[in-house]
Structure 1
Amino acid sequence: MSVQTMCLALTFCATIFLGAVVECIVYVKNGREANLGDFPWQVSIRDLSPSVHECGGVIISKSWVLTTGTCLKGVVNPLISTGTIDILNPGIVYEVGLIRNHPDYQQYSNSNDIALLKTRFDINFNDFTKSIPLTDDPVSAYNKGDLAGWGLDHYEAALYSKYLRMTEMTVMDSEVCRSLFSQKNVPLGGDQFCAGSAITGACRGDEGGGFVSRRQNSDEILLVGLISDNFCSLNNFPTAFTDVYFHREWIRNITGI
Protein backbone atom coordinates (compact mmCIF):
# COMPACT_ATOMS: atom_id res chain seq x y z
CA MET A 1 0.00 0.00 0.00
CA SER A 2 1.46 3.35 -1.06
CA VAL A 3 0.77 6.47 0.97
CA GLN A 4 2.16 10.00 0.53
CA THR A 5 2.08 12.71 3.15
CA MET A 6 4.25 15.35 4.77
CA CYS A 7 4.56 17.83 7.55
CA LEU A 8 4.96 21.35 6.25
CA ALA A 9 5.03 24.91 7.59
CA LEU A 10 3.80 23.89 11.05
CA THR A 11 0.28 23.63 9.66
CA PHE A 12 -0.01 20.15 8.27
CA CYS A 13 1.45 16.80 9.13
CA ALA A 14 -0.50 13.69 8.38
CA THR A 15 -0.10 10.48 10.28
CA ILE A 16 -0.15 7.27 8.33
CA PHE A 17 -1.86 4.14 9.50
CA LEU A 18 -0.68 0.82 8.13
CA GLY A 19 -1.86 -1.08 11.15
CA ALA A 20 0.31 1.32 13.21
CA VAL A 21 1.39 4.93 13.13
CA VAL A 22 4.38 5.69 10.92
CA GLU A 23 6.37 8.64 12.23
CA CYS A 24 7.59 11.57 10.14
CA ILE A 25 11.19 10.98 9.11
CA VAL A 26 13.39 14.05 9.27
CA TYR A 27 17.06 14.53 8.57
CA VAL A 28 18.07 15.27 12.15
CA LYS A 29 16.91 11.77 12.96
CA ASN A 30 18.96 10.18 10.19
CA GLY A 31 21.78 12.64 9.59
CA ARG A 32 25.08 12.33 11.41
CA GLU A 33 26.32 14.51 14.23
CA ALA A 34 28.70 17.17 12.94
CA ASN A 35 32.18 17.63 14.33
CA LEU A 36 33.48 21.05 15.31
CA GLY A 37 34.73 22.62 12.08
CA ASP A 38 32.57 20.58 9.69
CA PHE A 39 30.24 23.55 9.15
CA PRO A 40 32.31 26.53 10.37
CA TRP A 41 29.95 29.04 8.69
CA GLN A 42 26.86 27.71 10.50
CA VAL A 43 25.44 29.83 13.32
CA SER A 44 22.67 29.40 15.84
CA ILE A 45 20.36 32.41 15.89
CA ARG A 46 19.01 32.93 19.39
CA ASP A 47 16.69 35.38 21.11
CA LEU A 48 18.16 37.68 23.74
CA SER A 49 15.74 36.69 26.48
CA PRO A 50 15.87 33.84 27.06
CA SER A 51 18.97 32.95 25.05
CA VAL A 52 17.73 29.79 23.37
CA HIS A 53 18.16 28.47 19.84
CA GLU A 54 15.51 29.62 17.38
CA CYS A 55 16.88 28.87 13.91
CA GLY A 56 20.00 28.87 11.75
CA GLY A 57 22.11 31.23 9.70
CA VAL A 58 25.27 31.37 7.61
CA ILE A 59 28.36 33.58 8.01
CA ILE A 60 29.17 35.33 4.72
CA SER A 61 31.69 37.92 5.99
CA LYS A 62 33.27 39.13 9.24
CA SER A 63 30.18 41.18 10.04
CA TRP A 64 27.27 39.72 8.03
CA VAL A 65 25.13 36.63 8.55
CA LEU A 66 22.62 35.45 5.97
CA THR A 67 19.36 33.82 7.08
CA THR A 68 15.66 33.82 6.15
CA GLY A 69 12.65 35.93 7.01
CA THR A 70 10.99 32.75 8.21
CA CYS A 71 13.79 32.32 10.74
CA LEU A 72 13.37 35.82 12.14
CA LYS A 73 9.56 35.81 12.43
CA GLY A 74 9.59 34.92 16.11
CA VAL A 75 12.92 36.48 17.09
CA VAL A 76 12.70 39.89 18.80
CA ASN A 77 16.34 40.59 19.70
CA PRO A 78 18.55 38.18 17.78
CA LEU A 79 21.93 36.97 18.98
CA ILE A 80 24.37 35.04 16.80
CA SER A 81 26.26 32.08 18.25
CA THR A 82 29.35 30.99 16.28
CA GLY A 83 31.60 27.96 16.61
CA THR A 84 28.75 25.99 18.11
CA ILE A 85 28.02 22.27 18.06
CA ASP A 86 26.10 21.91 21.34
CA ILE A 87 23.34 24.56 21.44
CA LEU A 88 23.19 24.32 25.22
CA ASN A 89 26.85 25.38 25.31
CA PRO A 90 27.14 28.03 22.58
CA GLY A 91 30.47 29.33 21.33
CA ILE A 92 31.12 33.06 20.96
CA VAL A 93 27.85 35.03 20.98
CA TYR A 94 27.52 38.31 19.07
CA GLU A 95 24.89 41.02 19.33
CA VAL A 96 23.13 42.14 16.16
CA GLY A 97 23.33 45.82 15.24
CA LEU A 98 21.31 45.80 12.01
CA ILE A 99 18.56 43.63 10.50
CA ARG A 100 17.72 43.81 6.81
CA ASN A 101 14.73 41.75 5.70
CA HIS A 102 14.11 41.54 1.97
CA PRO A 103 11.57 44.31 1.20
CA ASP A 104 9.47 41.94 -0.93
CA TYR A 105 9.35 39.03 1.50
CA GLN A 106 6.00 37.28 1.13
CA GLN A 107 5.43 34.89 4.02
CA TYR A 108 2.43 33.11 2.52
CA SER A 109 3.79 32.70 -0.99
CA ASN A 110 7.30 31.73 0.19
CA SER A 111 8.87 34.43 -1.99
CA ASN A 112 12.01 36.43 -1.14
CA ASP A 113 12.48 34.52 2.10
CA ILE A 114 15.88 35.98 2.89
CA ALA A 115 17.35 38.37 5.46
CA LEU A 116 20.69 39.79 6.58
CA LEU A 117 22.03 40.38 10.08
CA LYS A 118 25.03 42.62 10.80
CA THR A 119 26.94 42.03 14.03
CA ARG A 120 27.88 44.96 16.27
CA PHE A 121 31.49 43.77 16.27
CA ASP A 122 33.44 41.73 13.73
CA ILE A 123 33.21 37.97 14.05
CA ASN A 124 36.42 36.32 15.23
CA PHE A 125 37.49 33.82 12.54
CA ASN A 126 39.42 30.65 13.40
CA ASP A 127 39.48 26.97 12.39
CA PHE A 128 35.93 26.55 13.68
CA THR A 129 34.37 29.85 12.58
CA LYS A 130 34.66 30.98 8.96
CA SER A 131 32.64 32.62 6.22
CA ILE A 132 31.48 30.84 3.08
CA PRO A 133 31.43 32.39 -0.40
CA LEU A 134 28.20 32.75 -2.37
CA THR A 135 27.72 30.67 -5.47
CA ASP A 136 28.15 32.45 -8.81
CA ASP A 137 26.35 29.75 -10.75
CA PRO A 138 22.65 28.85 -11.01
CA VAL A 139 21.63 25.78 -9.06
CA SER A 140 21.66 22.62 -11.17
CA ALA A 141 19.31 19.66 -10.90
CA TYR A 142 20.84 16.43 -9.57
CA ASN A 143 23.77 18.20 -7.90
CA LYS A 144 24.43 17.04 -4.38
CA GLY A 145 24.84 19.28 -1.36
CA ASP A 146 24.92 19.26 2.43
CA LEU A 147 22.78 20.98 5.03
CA ALA A 148 22.98 21.18 8.80
CA GLY A 149 20.88 22.27 11.73
CA TRP A 150 19.66 21.76 15.27
CA GLY A 151 16.01 21.33 14.29
CA LEU A 152 13.45 18.91 15.66
CA ASP A 153 14.17 15.23 15.14
CA HIS A 154 10.41 14.61 14.75
CA TYR A 155 7.51 16.92 14.01
CA GLU A 156 5.97 16.18 17.42
CA ALA A 157 9.25 16.55 19.31
CA ALA A 158 9.38 19.06 22.16
CA LEU A 159 13.08 19.91 21.99
CA TYR A 160 15.56 20.81 19.30
CA SER A 161 18.54 18.55 18.68
CA LYS A 162 21.22 19.21 21.29
CA TYR A 163 23.99 18.72 18.73
CA LEU A 164 24.40 20.04 15.20
CA ARG A 165 23.49 17.39 12.64
CA MET A 166 24.20 17.29 8.92
CA THR A 167 23.23 15.27 5.88
CA GLU A 168 23.48 15.12 2.09
CA MET A 169 20.60 15.86 -0.29
CA THR A 170 20.20 16.01 -4.08
CA VAL A 171 18.76 18.98 -5.98
CA MET A 172 15.53 18.06 -7.77
CA ASP A 173 14.28 19.00 -11.21
CA SER A 174 12.35 22.25 -10.68
CA GLU A 175 9.26 21.16 -12.62
CA VAL A 176 9.01 17.90 -10.69
CA CYS A 177 9.38 19.80 -7.43
CA ARG A 178 6.71 22.38 -8.29
CA SER A 179 4.34 19.62 -9.33
CA LEU A 180 4.75 17.89 -5.98
CA PHE A 181 4.11 21.10 -4.05
CA SER A 182 1.10 22.02 -6.17
CA GLN A 183 -0.48 18.66 -5.37
CA LYS A 184 -0.44 19.74 -1.71
CA ASN A 185 -1.71 23.26 -2.53
CA VAL A 186 1.50 24.72 -1.12
CA PRO A 187 3.00 27.69 -3.00
CA LEU A 188 6.63 27.55 -4.02
CA GLY A 189 8.31 30.88 -4.71
CA GLY A 190 9.96 31.61 -8.04
CA ASP A 191 13.21 32.10 -6.14
CA GLN A 192 13.11 28.66 -4.52
CA PHE A 193 14.47 25.24 -5.41
CA CYS A 194 14.08 21.80 -3.85
CA ALA A 195 16.36 19.03 -2.74
CA GLY A 196 15.38 15.60 -1.55
CA SER A 197 16.52 12.32 -0.11
CA ALA A 198 14.93 8.98 0.63
CA ILE A 199 14.92 9.50 4.40
CA THR A 200 16.28 12.97 5.15
CA GLY A 201 15.12 16.59 5.14
CA ALA A 202 14.74 19.67 7.35
CA CYS A 203 12.35 20.47 10.17
CA ARG A 204 11.39 23.30 12.54
CA GLY A 205 14.44 25.01 14.00
CA ASP A 206 16.52 24.43 10.86
CA GLU A 207 15.22 27.50 8.98
CA GLY A 208 17.93 29.83 7.73
CA GLY A 209 20.64 27.18 7.69
CA GLY A 210 22.71 26.73 4.56
CA PHE A 211 22.60 24.24 1.71
CA VAL A 212 26.20 24.04 0.47
CA SER A 213 27.88 22.34 -2.46
CA ARG A 214 31.37 21.97 -3.89
CA ARG A 215 32.30 23.98 -6.96
CA GLN A 216 32.67 21.72 -9.98
CA ASN A 217 36.21 20.34 -10.33
CA SER A 218 37.23 22.07 -7.10
CA ASP A 219 37.34 21.55 -3.35
CA GLU A 220 35.85 25.01 -2.72
CA ILE A 221 32.52 24.89 -0.88
CA LEU A 222 29.88 27.46 -1.86
CA LEU A 223 26.59 28.60 -0.36
CA VAL A 224 23.79 27.58 -2.73
CA GLY A 225 20.59 27.88 -0.69
CA LEU A 226 18.93 28.61 2.65
CA ILE A 227 16.44 26.34 4.38
CA SER A 228 13.29 28.30 3.73
CA ASP A 229 10.51 27.05 5.96
CA ASN A 230 9.38 24.51 8.56
CA PHE A 231 9.54 21.49 6.31
CA CYS A 232 9.46 18.02 7.82
CA SER A 233 10.16 15.37 5.23
CA LEU A 234 8.21 12.15 4.90
CA ASN A 235 8.09 9.59 2.10
CA ASN A 236 10.61 11.45 -0.10
CA PHE A 237 8.81 14.81 0.02
CA PRO A 238 11.44 17.48 -0.74
CA THR A 239 12.73 20.40 1.31
CA ALA A 240 12.49 23.89 -0.22
CA PHE A 241 15.35 26.39 -0.19
CA THR A 242 15.75 30.06 -1.01
CA ASP A 243 18.04 30.30 -4.04
CA VAL A 244 21.14 32.30 -3.08
CA TYR A 245 22.18 32.81 -6.71
CA PHE A 246 18.81 34.48 -7.40
CA HIS A 247 19.46 37.00 -4.59
CA ARG A 248 23.22 37.48 -4.94
CA GLU A 249 22.98 41.09 -6.17
CA TRP A 250 20.66 42.09 -3.32
CA ILE A 251 23.08 40.50 -0.84
CA ARG A 252 26.14 42.16 -2.36
CA ASN A 253 24.52 45.59 -2.68
CA ILE A 254 23.87 45.63 1.07
CA THR A 255 26.99 43.91 2.37
CA GLY A 256 29.60 44.89 -0.18
CA ILE A 257 31.06 41.38 -0.25
Structure 2
Amino acid sequence: MADTRGRWLIAVLLLQVVAAQTEPSPLIIGGSPAALGAFPAHVGIHIGQPQTLFCGGTILNTNHILTAGSCVLDGQNMLRGAAQFAFRSGVVIIDANAPSVGIDRVFVHPLYNPFTFENDIAVLRVFGTINFPQVATPNVAPAELQDRIVPENSACQVVGWNWQPNVANQALQQLGVLVHPRVACNNLFNGMIQNSMLCVQPTVQTQALCLPNRGGGLYCNGRLTGIVSFGLGCGANTTETATVVTQVRYYQQWILQQFVRNDNPQAGTTPMPGIGGGSASLLVSAAAILFATIMMLVMR
Protein backbone atom coordinates (compact mmCIF):
# COMPACT_ATOMS: atom_id res chain seq x y z
CA MET A 1 0.00 0.00 0.00
CA ALA A 2 2.80 2.42 0.92
CA ASP A 3 4.52 1.74 -2.40
CA THR A 4 1.30 2.46 -4.27
CA ARG A 5 0.83 5.75 -2.42
CA GLY A 6 4.41 6.68 -3.26
CA ARG A 7 3.85 6.05 -6.95
CA TRP A 8 0.72 8.13 -6.97
CA LEU A 9 2.55 10.92 -5.11
CA ILE A 10 5.10 11.11 -7.91
CA ALA A 11 2.32 11.24 -10.49
CA VAL A 12 0.43 13.92 -8.54
CA LEU A 13 3.59 16.01 -8.14
CA LEU A 14 4.20 15.92 -11.87
CA LEU A 15 0.57 16.75 -12.58
CA GLN A 16 0.92 19.78 -10.31
CA VAL A 17 3.97 20.88 -12.30
CA VAL A 18 1.84 20.73 -15.44
CA ALA A 19 -1.16 22.44 -13.83
CA ALA A 20 0.98 25.19 -12.38
CA GLN A 21 1.91 26.31 -15.89
CA THR A 22 -1.64 26.62 -17.20
CA GLU A 23 -2.30 29.91 -15.42
CA PRO A 24 -0.20 32.51 -13.61
CA SER A 25 0.35 31.84 -9.95
CA PRO A 26 2.17 34.07 -7.47
CA LEU A 27 5.24 33.14 -5.51
CA ILE A 28 3.94 34.28 -2.14
CA ILE A 29 0.45 33.80 -0.68
CA GLY A 30 -0.31 35.37 2.67
CA GLY A 31 2.96 37.28 2.96
CA SER A 32 3.52 40.87 4.03
CA PRO A 33 5.31 43.69 2.16
CA ALA A 34 9.05 43.77 2.69
CA ALA A 35 10.62 47.09 3.62
CA LEU A 36 12.89 48.74 1.05
CA GLY A 37 16.37 47.38 1.62
CA ALA A 38 15.30 44.58 3.98
CA PHE A 39 16.54 41.97 1.50
CA PRO A 40 19.24 43.85 -0.44
CA ALA A 41 20.51 40.76 -2.26
CA HIS A 42 17.16 39.71 -3.72
CA VAL A 43 16.60 40.31 -7.44
CA GLY A 44 13.89 39.64 -9.99
CA ILE A 45 14.97 37.70 -13.09
CA HIS A 46 12.95 38.15 -16.28
CA ILE A 47 13.22 35.38 -18.83
CA GLY A 48 12.35 35.07 -22.51
CA GLN A 49 11.70 37.33 -25.46
CA PRO A 50 9.31 38.94 -24.76
CA GLN A 51 9.94 38.78 -21.02
CA THR A 52 6.90 36.81 -19.89
CA LEU A 53 8.61 34.42 -17.46
CA PHE A 54 10.01 35.09 -14.04
CA CYS A 55 12.28 33.68 -11.34
CA GLY A 56 13.83 35.00 -8.18
CA GLY A 57 17.56 35.31 -7.62
CA THR A 58 20.17 36.42 -5.10
CA ILE A 59 23.22 38.64 -5.54
CA LEU A 60 26.46 36.82 -4.70
CA ASN A 61 29.01 39.52 -5.57
CA THR A 62 29.49 42.37 -8.05
CA ASN A 63 29.34 39.98 -11.01
CA HIS A 64 27.18 36.99 -10.13
CA ILE A 65 23.63 36.02 -9.18
CA LEU A 66 22.40 32.74 -7.73
CA THR A 67 19.16 31.11 -8.86
CA ALA A 68 17.60 27.68 -9.47
CA GLY A 69 18.88 25.42 -12.22
CA SER A 70 15.28 24.85 -13.29
CA CYS A 71 15.04 28.58 -14.08
CA VAL A 72 17.67 28.49 -16.82
CA LEU A 73 16.36 25.60 -18.93
CA ASP A 74 13.50 25.82 -21.38
CA GLY A 75 10.53 23.50 -21.90
CA GLN A 76 12.54 21.30 -24.25
CA ASN A 77 15.19 20.77 -21.56
CA MET A 78 17.69 23.02 -23.31
CA LEU A 79 19.94 25.61 -21.71
CA ARG A 80 18.60 29.09 -22.44
CA GLY A 81 20.96 31.59 -24.02
CA ALA A 82 22.26 34.36 -21.76
CA ALA A 83 20.47 36.94 -23.92
CA GLN A 84 17.17 35.48 -22.69
CA PHE A 85 17.77 36.84 -19.17
CA ALA A 86 17.64 40.25 -17.52
CA PHE A 87 17.43 41.22 -13.87
CA ARG A 88 16.39 44.10 -11.62
CA SER A 89 17.77 44.84 -8.17
CA GLY A 90 17.25 47.43 -5.44
CA VAL A 91 13.49 47.66 -5.94
CA VAL A 92 10.42 46.53 -4.04
CA ILE A 93 8.01 46.73 -6.98
CA ILE A 94 8.88 45.09 -10.29
CA ASP A 95 8.14 47.23 -13.35
CA ALA A 96 8.67 45.31 -16.57
CA ASN A 97 9.06 48.61 -18.46
CA ALA A 98 11.87 49.89 -16.24
CA PRO A 99 15.53 49.50 -17.31
CA SER A 100 17.10 46.15 -16.55
CA VAL A 101 20.58 44.64 -16.63
CA GLY A 102 21.50 41.80 -18.97
CA ILE A 103 23.18 38.47 -18.26
CA ASP A 104 26.48 37.58 -19.89
CA ARG A 105 26.85 33.88 -19.06
CA VAL A 106 24.78 31.09 -17.55
CA PHE A 107 26.31 28.29 -15.49
CA VAL A 108 23.90 25.53 -14.51
CA HIS A 109 24.98 22.65 -12.30
CA PRO A 110 25.98 19.84 -14.69
CA LEU A 111 24.23 17.22 -12.54
CA TYR A 112 20.86 18.91 -12.17
CA ASN A 113 18.35 16.06 -12.24
CA PRO A 114 14.70 16.81 -13.10
CA PHE A 115 13.51 13.46 -11.77
CA THR A 116 14.96 13.91 -8.29
CA PHE A 117 15.37 17.73 -8.28
CA GLU A 118 18.92 17.27 -7.04
CA ASN A 119 21.47 20.03 -7.75
CA ASP A 120 18.77 22.56 -8.64
CA ILE A 121 21.18 25.49 -8.74
CA ALA A 122 22.68 27.91 -11.28
CA VAL A 123 24.95 30.96 -11.30
CA LEU A 124 24.42 33.88 -13.68
CA ARG A 125 27.27 36.23 -14.60
CA VAL A 126 26.00 39.74 -15.25
CA PHE A 127 27.08 42.29 -17.83
CA GLY A 128 29.26 44.91 -16.18
CA THR A 129 29.14 45.06 -12.40
CA ILE A 130 26.50 45.41 -9.71
CA ASN A 131 27.11 48.56 -7.70
CA PHE A 132 26.83 48.42 -3.92
CA PRO A 133 26.18 52.01 -2.82
CA GLN A 134 27.83 53.26 0.36
CA VAL A 135 24.66 55.18 1.10
CA ALA A 136 21.88 52.62 0.84
CA THR A 137 19.34 54.43 -1.33
CA PRO A 138 18.21 51.85 -2.30
CA ASN A 139 20.15 49.15 -0.53
CA VAL A 140 21.88 46.65 -2.83
CA ALA A 141 24.32 44.20 -1.28
CA PRO A 142 25.53 40.61 -1.67
CA ALA A 143 24.03 37.88 0.46
CA GLU A 144 25.91 36.25 3.30
CA LEU A 145 25.77 32.51 2.68
CA GLN A 146 24.72 30.04 5.34
CA ASP A 147 27.48 27.57 6.24
CA ARG A 148 25.87 25.93 9.27
CA ILE A 149 23.11 23.38 9.79
CA VAL A 150 19.82 25.12 10.53
CA PRO A 151 17.95 23.20 13.26
CA GLU A 152 14.47 21.83 12.65
CA ASN A 153 11.62 24.20 13.53
CA SER A 154 13.89 27.24 13.11
CA ALA A 155 12.08 30.41 12.06
CA CYS A 156 13.16 31.68 8.63
CA GLN A 157 11.85 33.92 5.83
CA VAL A 158 11.23 33.49 2.13
CA VAL A 159 10.87 36.44 -0.22
CA GLY A 160 9.45 36.99 -3.68
CA TRP A 161 7.23 39.00 -5.98
CA ASN A 162 3.72 38.21 -7.14
CA TRP A 163 4.89 39.15 -10.63
CA GLN A 164 2.75 38.61 -13.71
CA PRO A 165 3.27 40.21 -17.13
CA ASN A 166 1.05 43.20 -17.89
CA VAL A 167 -0.47 43.16 -14.41
CA ALA A 168 -0.03 45.73 -11.65
CA ASN A 169 2.39 44.13 -9.24
CA GLN A 170 2.51 43.96 -5.48
CA ALA A 171 5.55 45.02 -3.56
CA LEU A 172 8.18 42.46 -2.62
CA GLN A 173 6.64 40.00 -0.18
CA GLN A 174 8.16 38.18 2.77
CA LEU A 175 6.70 35.15 4.48
CA GLY A 176 7.69 33.54 7.75
CA VAL A 177 8.28 29.78 7.56
CA LEU A 178 9.59 27.04 9.82
CA VAL A 179 12.18 24.42 8.93
CA HIS A 180 10.14 21.24 8.59
CA PRO A 181 11.44 18.08 10.30
CA ARG A 182 13.39 16.06 7.73
CA VAL A 183 11.81 12.70 8.52
CA ALA A 184 8.29 14.07 8.18
CA CYS A 185 9.16 15.86 4.93
CA ASN A 186 10.82 12.78 3.50
CA ASN A 187 7.67 10.81 4.27
CA LEU A 188 5.58 13.51 2.61
CA PHE A 189 7.68 13.30 -0.54
CA ASN A 190 8.15 9.54 -0.44
CA GLY A 191 11.91 9.53 0.13
CA MET A 192 12.80 12.26 -2.38
CA ILE A 193 14.49 14.56 0.15
CA GLN A 194 18.27 14.40 -0.22
CA ASN A 195 20.88 15.76 2.18
CA SER A 196 21.35 18.76 -0.09
CA MET A 197 17.67 19.70 0.32
CA LEU A 198 15.74 21.38 3.12
CA CYS A 199 11.98 21.57 3.74
CA VAL A 200 10.06 24.57 5.04
CA GLN A 201 6.43 25.14 5.96
CA PRO A 202 4.40 28.30 6.56
CA THR A 203 2.98 28.73 10.02
CA VAL A 204 -0.55 29.09 8.60
CA GLN A 205 -1.98 26.47 6.22
CA THR A 206 -3.46 29.01 3.80
CA GLN A 207 -0.11 30.77 3.42
CA ALA A 208 2.22 29.35 0.81
CA LEU A 209 5.25 29.57 -1.38
CA CYS A 210 4.12 28.59 -4.89
CA LEU A 211 5.89 26.68 -7.62
CA PRO A 212 6.15 28.82 -10.77
CA ASN A 213 8.56 31.48 -9.51
CA ARG A 214 11.45 29.39 -8.29
CA GLY A 215 14.97 30.60 -7.64
CA GLY A 216 14.28 33.00 -4.77
CA GLY A 217 15.96 32.85 -1.39
CA LEU A 218 15.28 31.30 1.99
CA TYR A 219 16.89 33.35 4.76
CA CYS A 220 17.61 31.98 8.23
CA ASN A 221 19.27 34.23 10.81
CA GLY A 222 19.82 36.76 8.04
CA ARG A 223 21.87 34.38 5.88
CA LEU A 224 20.94 32.91 2.51
CA THR A 225 20.18 29.30 3.41
CA GLY A 226 18.33 27.91 0.40
CA ILE A 227 17.09 28.36 -3.15
CA VAL A 228 13.40 27.68 -3.73
CA SER A 229 13.13 24.48 -5.77
CA PHE A 230 9.85 22.53 -5.65
CA GLY A 231 6.90 21.62 -3.44
CA LEU A 232 3.28 20.68 -3.05
CA GLY A 233 0.34 22.99 -2.61
CA CYS A 234 -0.18 26.68 -3.19
CA GLY A 235 -2.12 27.88 -0.17
CA ALA A 236 -5.35 26.12 -1.06
CA ASN A 237 -4.65 22.66 0.35
CA THR A 238 -6.23 21.46 3.57
CA THR A 239 -3.66 18.67 3.94
CA GLU A 240 -0.01 18.94 4.88
CA THR A 241 2.17 20.81 2.39
CA ALA A 242 5.81 21.81 2.24
CA THR A 243 8.29 23.60 0.00
CA VAL A 244 11.71 22.14 -0.74
CA VAL A 245 14.80 24.31 -1.18
CA THR A 246 18.33 23.60 -2.35
CA GLN A 247 20.70 24.03 0.60
CA VAL A 248 23.34 26.62 -0.29
CA ARG A 249 25.91 25.29 2.17
CA TYR A 250 26.28 22.10 0.12
CA TYR A 251 27.33 24.05 -2.98
CA GLN A 252 29.65 26.78 -1.73
CA GLN A 253 32.71 25.27 -3.41
CA TRP A 254 30.85 24.85 -6.70
CA ILE A 255 29.58 28.44 -6.49
CA LEU A 256 33.12 29.75 -6.00
CA GLN A 257 34.30 27.75 -9.01
CA GLN A 258 31.78 29.53 -11.23
CA PHE A 259 33.29 32.92 -10.36
CA VAL A 260 36.53 32.09 -12.18
CA ARG A 261 35.19 30.17 -15.19
CA ASN A 262 36.37 31.43 -18.57
CA ASP A 263 34.15 29.29 -20.80
CA ASN A 264 30.84 30.53 -22.12
CA PRO A 265 28.17 27.79 -22.26
CA GLN A 266 25.97 28.24 -25.29
CA ALA A 267 22.26 27.65 -25.56
CA GLY A 268 21.38 24.08 -26.34
CA THR A 269 21.77 20.65 -24.83
CA THR A 270 22.98 20.22 -21.27
CA PRO A 271 24.67 17.25 -19.55
CA MET A 272 21.36 16.36 -17.90
CA PRO A 273 17.85 17.11 -19.16
CA GLY A 274 16.09 19.67 -16.99
CA ILE A 275 12.68 21.10 -16.29
CA GLY A 276 12.09 24.55 -17.80
CA GLY A 277 12.01 27.70 -15.69
CA GLY A 278 8.33 28.55 -15.73
CA SER A 279 7.60 28.51 -19.47
CA ALA A 280 4.27 27.48 -20.90
CA SER A 281 6.32 25.08 -23.03
CA LEU A 282 7.08 23.27 -19.77
CA LEU A 283 3.73 21.59 -20.32
CA VAL A 284 5.31 19.46 -23.03
CA SER A 285 8.31 18.54 -20.91
CA ALA A 286 6.38 17.82 -17.73
CA ALA A 287 3.71 15.87 -19.59
CA ALA A 288 6.42 13.75 -21.21
CA ILE A 289 8.02 13.08 -17.83
CA LEU A 290 4.63 12.23 -16.32
CA PHE A 291 3.87 9.82 -19.15
CA ALA A 292 7.27 8.17 -18.83
CA THR A 293 6.86 7.85 -15.06
CA ILE A 294 3.40 6.29 -15.34
CA MET A 295 4.64 3.88 -17.99
CA MET A 296 7.60 2.92 -15.80
CA LEU A 297 5.29 2.24 -12.86
CA VAL A 298 2.87 0.23 -15.00
CA MET A 299 5.65 -1.93 -16.40
CA ARG A 300 7.05 -2.82 -12.97
Kindly indicate whether residue 193 of structure 2 is the aligned counterpart of residue 211 of structure 1: no
1:239 to 226, 230, 243: 243
Counterpart of 1:17? none
2:105, 2:126 within 8 Å by CA — same for their partners in 1? yes
Residue 86 (structure 1) shift: 1.8
Instruction: Give the Cα separation in 2 of the matches to 1:73 and 1:191.
Output: 21
Residue 68 of structure 2 aligns with an amino acid whose one-letter code is T
Q: Map residues 127-142 of structure 1 onto 2, 5 A cutoff.
A: 127=136, 128-142=139-153
Counterpart of 2:228? 227
Kindly indicate whether residue 148 of structure 2 is the aligned counterpart of residue 148 of structure 1: no
Bigger strand fraction: 1
Counterpart of 2:264? none
Structure-2 change in CA distance of 1:43 and 1:91 (3 Å): farther
Normalised to the residue count of structure 1, the TM-score between the two structures is 0.77
Structure-2 change in CA distance of 1:160 and 1:223 (3 Å): farther
Counterpart of 1:71? 71
Kindly indicate whether residue 178 of structure 2 is the aligned counterpart of residue 174 of structure 1: no
Kindly indicate whether residue 199 of structure 2 is the aligned counterpart of residue 188 of structure 1: no
Structure-2 change in CA distance of 1:49 and 1:169 (3 Å): same
Alignment deviations for residues 92-129 of structure 1 (CA, whole Å, 9 cap, x no partner): 62111111100110012110000000101111223221
Larger radius of gyration: 2
> Which consecutive residues of structure 1, in runs of 5 or more, have no partner in the other structure?
14-24, 215-220
Counterpart of 2:95? 88
1:56, 1:67 within 8 Å by CA — same for their partners in 2? yes
Instruction: Give the Cα separation in 2 of the matches to 1:45 and 1:251.
Output: 19
Q: How large is the Cα RMSD of the aligned pairs?
A: 2.9
Structure-2 change in CA distance of 1:204 and 1:56 (3 Å): same
Instruction: Give the Cα separation in 2 of the matches to 1:171 and 1:90.
Output: 37
Residue 187 (structure 1) shift: 3.1
Residue 84 (structure 1) shift: 2.4
More relative contact order, 1 or 2 (CA 8 Å, 6+ apart): 2
Instruction: Give the Cα separation in 1 of the matches to 2:68 and 2:126.
Output: 16
1:110, 1:189 within 8 Å by CA — same for their partners in 2? no
Deviates more, 1:46-55 or 1:114-123: 46-55
Alignment deviations for residues 173-192 of structure 1 (CA, whole Å, 9 cap, x no partner): 1111101111xxx8334411
Counterpart of 1:122? 129
Counting aligned pairs with the same residue, the percent is: 24
Size of the alignment, in residue pairs? 226
1:150, 1:205 within 8 Å by CA — same for their partners in 2? no
Instruction: Give the Cα separation in 1 of the matches to 2:167 and 2:199.
Output: 26
Alignment deviations for residues 153-177 of structure 1 (CA, whole Å, 9 cap, x no partner): 9xxxx96954321111010111111
1:191, 1:243 within 8 Å by CA — same for their partners in 2? yes
Residue 201 (structure 1) shift: 2.4
Counterpart of 2:172? 164
Residue 78 of structure 1 aligns with an amino acid whose one-letter code is F
> Which consecutive residues of structure 2, in runs of 5 or more, have no partner in the other structure?
1-8, 18-24, 75-79, 261-300
Residue 253 of structure 1 aligns with an amino acid whose one-letter code is Q
Normalised to the residue count of structure 2, the TM-score between the two structures is 0.67
Counterpart of 1:43? 43
Deviates more, 1:62-71 or 1:226-235: 226-235
Residue 209 of structure 1 aligns with an amino acid whose one-letter code is G
SS state of the match for residue 245, structure 1?
helix
Deviates more, 1:241-250 or 1:198-207: 198-207
Instruction: Give the Cα separation in 2 of the matches to 1:230 and 1:152.
Output: 19
SS state of the match for residue 109, structure 1?
coil
